[in-house]
Amino acid sequence: MFAALDSFSVQLPDFVRTTTFRWTASAFAVCIVLFSAFIYWEAASYMLAKTDAALTEESLAIAADSPDRELDAIDDRLSQDPRRIKLAGLFGSDGHRIAGNLKREPDGLKIDAPVQNAAAIRIDRDGPDEMTVRAIARSLPNGNVLVIARNIDELKELAELVARALMLGLPFALGFGSVIGMVLSVRAQKRVAELNTLVRRIVAGDLRQRLPTQGLDHPFDKLAEIANGMLDEIEAVVQEMAGVGNEIAHDLRTPLTRVRLVLERGRANAKTLEELEAITDRAIGGIDHSLTIITTLLRIAEIEYGGRLSGLDNVALADLVREVGDLYEPIAEDKHITLRVASGDDATVRGDRDLLLEAVANLVDNALKFTPVGGCVELALVRGENESIVRVTDSGPGVRENERKSVTRRFYRSDKSRHTFGFGLGLSLVSAIVKLHGFRLSIAAGPGCVAEIACALPSA
Amino acid sequence: MSAVSSFKEAWSCKFVPATNLLDVHMGRLRHKVDMPNEAPMIHNVCSAGFILRAAS
């Protein structure tokens, strides 16, 4: 049987098998059943309360009458009953019927109690008829008992009415729920199909594709935005990787070609041992250059993909800044550049001292490299809001607005720096170190260039 | 002593400095150790680094 059901469900359209469709249709059906039950319950309670109030009122009115008018009042009550729902009876103290359409006092009916359910037998022209009634019994001053009742078959009729409405409404509700479920699930399926097509294109290598968003506060839109952010990042990384491959090849070929030329020329032209040694030294210099590029690349990769700080320690930034100042002071002097060191703010941050030293040293190295002879480089430690800033300012040509993001890219070299010796790796190394520490690197243009590492201070 | 290891020892840091930084510092050291008109004590060892030899 289950196999048969399975084969049946396989033939159903796709949307029927979606959770959206099933839940919507079921929710509509359950809602309509609960709503009908609520209507019945509310209406029945209201009718019962009104019936009870009317019975109490009527019984009090008749009981207050004089004994000879009681009979008239009962006859009046019964004669004004075209729907044949009213019952009344006056019984003697021994239980015999004096007047009314009740055969006898209903069994178990408590006298002088509130209105209650009771089983009564009605007698009139159609013969005895047993029914469930709401009834109230009052003892009269002369010892007689007055019973006033009302047939509550009306409640059954109400229940039947609601059930009939339900039977008519349920298929409609199910149908309506199914249509809404179908629309919702077809829409969802359409978007999933769109996403699927786009994702296939992206997987096939077209990284420029982006998932469509409708600008609504919709889960699909949010998902698309997250995925698009991820794609932006992947596209940037892939482009950088592709560029880096070319640039590594290019930057390694230049020094190696030079080494080859030097060796070739030396082999042909060197006459003495000194000449040969000089040529070998130049060749070694070229090879060292290539090796430094490779070492630095590996170092950046290690910092970027290692993703973890090993030697985490308290680093006194003022000492670090002074040390870098001492380290570069001879070079500045050689180039006739004034190197000013201002380590006023003595802040301590959590980090790897060696890596931070390397980062600051690289910034100073860059500044010295691009500052013309007679210029000025300033290395300062200043206090920002919840952070300590290592600022390197130079009087060099500066960095153009459109180049500021690119300078941290591997091998990026500004046109202005084409003729300066370097690898174009310094700032990407600094950027990797700063990112690893969760600090912030910013390159701004002043009269020259202002490079800042903002180090977050540990919370006290 | 290799150039790089001497630098690391002197500055107690792990990174490999640019060649020109080493050269400038070594130049300074030479300037202080080897007086003019004296036989030099710091010698280059090709492809290895530097060696300190007493002037003979």
Tens of pLDDT along A377-431? 999 998 888 888 899 988 877 777 666 666 665 555 544 443 444 546 778 888 8
pLDDT digits over A348-362, tens only?
888 888 888 888 988
DSSP secondary structure letter of residue A66: -
Residue window 19-48, chain B: list those with CB within 8 Å of chain A. 19-21, 24-25, 27-28, 46-47
Is the CB of residue A151 less than 8 Å from the CB of residue A129? no
Distance to chain A for B21, nearest Cα, Å: 7
What 3-state class would DSSP assign to A361? helix
| Phi, psi for residue A217 in degrees, rounded to 5 | -85, 65
DSSP secondary structure letter of residue A403: G
Between A14 and A67, the more confident residue is A67
DSSP secondary structure letter of residue B51: E
- Measured between alpha carbons, how far is residue B19 from residues A40, A285, A407, B25 in Å? 93, 9, 22, 10
Nearest CA in chain A to B29: A330
- Residue A261, pLDDT > 90, answer yes
- Measured between alpha carbons, how far is residue A401 from residues A16, A260, A422, A443 in Å? 57, 39, 22, 9
Residues of A engaging B, defined by a Cβ cutoff of 8 Å: 277, 280-281, 284-285, 288-289, 292, 295-296, 299, 323, 327-328, 330-331, 334, 353-354, 357-358, 361, 365, 421
Is the CB of residue A15 less than 8 Å from the CB of residue A21? yes
Half-sphere exposure of A86 (CA within 13 A, CB side): 18
Which residue, among A222, A281, A50, has the nearest Cα to A150 in the 3D structure?
A50
Residues 6+ apart with CB under 8 A from A219: none
- Residue A252, pLDDT > 80, answer yes
Between A405 and A222, the more confident residue is A222
- Measured between alpha carbons, how far is residue A20 from residues A99, A169, A187 in Å? 66, 22, 10
Which of B11, B18, B25 has the CB atom closest to A365's CB atom?
Answer: B18
A334/B24 touch (CB, cutoff 8 Å), yes or no: yes
**In this prediction, what percent of chain B has a pLDDT beyond 90?**
0
Please give the average per-residue pLDDT across A35-59, as a whole number: 88
Q: Which residues of B touch A353 (CB under 8 A)?
A: 13
Q: Which residues of A touch B47 (CB under 8 A)?
A: 284
pLDDT digits over A428-457, tens only?
888 888 888 888 888 887 677 888 888 888
Say what the pTM is: 0.52
Residues 6+ apart with CB under 8 A from A156: none
**In this prediction, what percent of chain A has a pLDDT beyond 90?**
6
- What ipTM is given for this predicted complex? 0.78
Nearest CA in chain B to A300: B15
Q: Which residues of B touch A297 (CB under 8 A)?
A: none
